[in-house]
Amino acid sequence: MSLRDHLIARISSQGPITIADYMAEALLHPEHGYYTTRDPLGRAGDFTTAPEISQMFGELVGLSLAQSWLDQGAPAPFTLAELGPGRGTLMADILRATARVPGFHAAARITLVEASPALRATQRETLKAYDIQYADSADALPDAPLWLVANEFFDALPVRQFQRDGTGWRERNVGMRDGALCLGLSPVGPQTSLEQRLDDTENGQMVETCPAARPVLSAIAERLAAHGGAALIIDYGDWRSLGDTLQAVQDHNPVDPLADPGQADLTAHVDFEALCMAADPAAHSRVTPQGVFLERLGITARAQALAAKLDGPALDAHIAAHRRLTHPDEMGNLFKVLGLFPNHAAPPPGLER
Ligand code: SAH
């Protein structure tokens, strides 16, 4: 049975499902989910991410985390965690860049949170030189000092979509028409969690919520406040969600999110205001454009040092990668970095309170 058949059977018996339920099935269905069944990253895959574009991204993230660890007195042991590590490239670059930070590797307990068995296998291969552990969720991370990174993890968490109708909201859902999946709207009703959005939206506008994000943030924030540490959350999105941002990408091109469930990546913009509101009892940094964050950490000097060893097409690709990560017309502005840290500590380098 294909995922579409499974969804059609589910909708026939239960009625329309929310966009969040649809995303959860399409991405993580145990047999047919997009992430469960494949490695979607890189040139031959469906999309690419900052760590896959250039080693400089992971190197600078690693140095920011290691400096923050030193600034907080180098506690040992500590958890070095990543949420949604993809191919393991980011963690490999972090570990290579921090190999000479005295005591950092010896104290780090590397812990990955990854839902996909296919990607777990790839990560084990990429990181085979290291002792790595898995946790089933952020909630299952050790109760210990925590330095954590999550790049393009929150955009994969399922969102619910609500369209304003007067002073109420209609939830967007996935139903069926003539045997095919189609988008629909629930009857209008109140949504207490969206009451504050009546001030800044108009009839017909759409807002998104990401119920799965809050417990992840809380699990991280509790550990940071109790034991010290820092988290770097990097994703595309903005302050406060507005509009339909659900998108499906296949073979580096946008496609209809309902066309082929389980065969395309589905993401939504991250609502950084909601993440900041869930950061308590930790403190959070300003939401900082990725380009600004990487420039502050010295990406241009690092790019020049690497460029000195390159020529021809490799040099051209390196220059393009630097531009892609930092330029406001590419990833530099759309992608944002949010830091979490204990109230009494400084934000990790590259970020400000
Ligand atoms: N951080 C990587 C990969 C981003 S793709 C990079 O930057 O290249 C999203 C990653 O999150 C994948 O590894 C995917 O399998 C994982 N993922 C998505 N939803 C998840 C969930 N609910 N729990 C754990 N991992 C999840």
Determine the distance separating the centroid of ligand 1 and the alpha carbon of 114, expressed in angstroms: 6
Task: Tell me the average pLDDT across 177-191.
Answer: 94
Per-residue pLDDT, 39: 86
Tell whether 312 and 193 lie within a shared domain. no
pLDDT tier at 190 (50, 70, 90 boundaries)?
very high
Under DSSP, the state recorded for 179 is T
- Please check whether residue 290 lies inside any domain of the structure: yes
More confident: 40 or 211: 211
- Please check whether residue 54 lies inside any domain of the structure: yes
pLDDT tier at 43 (50, 70, 90 boundaries)?
low
Tell whether 174 and 98 lie within a shared domain. no
pLDDT at 41 over 90: no
Angle between helices 312-326 and 299-307 (to 10 degrees): 170
Tell whether 266 and 195 lie within a shared domain. no
For ligand 1, which residues put their CB under 6 angstroms from it? Answer: 35, 41, 49, 51-52, 84-86, 90, 113-116, 119, 151-153, 156
- Please check whether residue 175 lies inside any domain of the structure: yes
Per-residue pLDDT, 347: 98
Which residue among 153, 155, 214, 249 has the greatest number of ligand 1 atoms within 8 angstroms of its CB, and so is best to mutate?
153
pLDDT at 140 over 90: yes
Per-residue pLDDT, 1: 83
Q: How many whole angstroms from its chain centre is CA 129?
A: 25
- Please check whether residue 254 lies inside any domain of the structure: yes
Task: Tell me the average pLDDT across 11-26.
Answer: 97
Q: What domain range is 26 assigned to?
A: 3-31+160-208
pLDDT tier at 47 (50, 70, 90 boundaries)?
confident
Under DSSP, the state recorded for 155 is G
For ligand 1, atom 13, the nearest C-alpha belongs to 86
Tell whether 170 and 228 lie within a shared domain. no
Cα(299)–Cα(301) distance, integer angstroms: 6
Which residue among 37, 116, 232 has the greatest number of ligand 1 atoms within 8 angstroms of its CB, and so is best to mutate?
116
Per-residue pLDDT, 71: 98
For ligand 1, atom 23, the nearest C-alpha belongs to 115
Under DSSP, the state recorded for 144 is S
Q: What average pLDDT is seen over the chain? A: 96
Q: Backbone phi, then psi, for 104, in 5-degree steps?
A: -65, -50
Number of structural domains in the chain: 2
For ligand 1, atom 14, the nearest C-alpha belongs to 84
pLDDT tier at 37 (50, 70, 90 boundaries)?
confident
Task: Tell me the average pLDDT across 256-266.
Answer: 94
Tell whether 128 and 89 lie within a shared domain. yes
- Please check whether residue 349 lies inside any domain of the structure: no
Tell whether 199 and 242 lie within a shared domain. no
Tell whether 225 and 324 lie within a shared domain. yes
Task: Tell me the average pLDDT across 31-41.
Answer: 90
Which ligand 1 atom minimizes the distance to the CA of 35? 15
Cα(139)–Cα(281) distance, integer angstroms: 15
Cα(351)–Cα(330) distance, integer angstroms: 20
Cα(143)–Cα(291) distance, integer angstroms: 33
- Please check whether residue 37 lies inside any domain of the structure: no
Report pLDDT digits (tens) over 281-291: 999 999 999 99
The percent of residues in the chain predicted with pLDDT above 70, rounded, is 99
Report pLDDT digits (tens) over 293-349: 999 999 999 999 999 999 999 999 999 999 999 999 999 999 999 999 999 999 999
**Terminal Cα distance for the chain, rounded:** 51
Per-residue pLDDT, 46: 84
Tell whether 192 and 310 lie within a shared domain. no
> How far lies 215's CA from each of 81, 147, 323, 335, in Å?
16, 18, 35, 22
Determine the distance separating the centroid of ligand 1 and the alpha carbon of 13, expressed in angstroms: 31
Tell whether 300 and 189 lie within a shared domain. no
Per-residue pLDDT, 42: 65
Exposure string (b/e) for 25-40, b if CB count within 10 Å is 16 or more? bbbbbeebbbbbbbbb
Determine the distance separating the centroid of ligand 1 and the alpha carbon of 155, expressed in angstroms: 9
Q: Is 164 left (phi over 0), alpha (psi -120 to 50) or beta?
A: beta
Query: For the domain that residue 314 is a member of, what is the CATH number?
Result: 3.40.50.12710
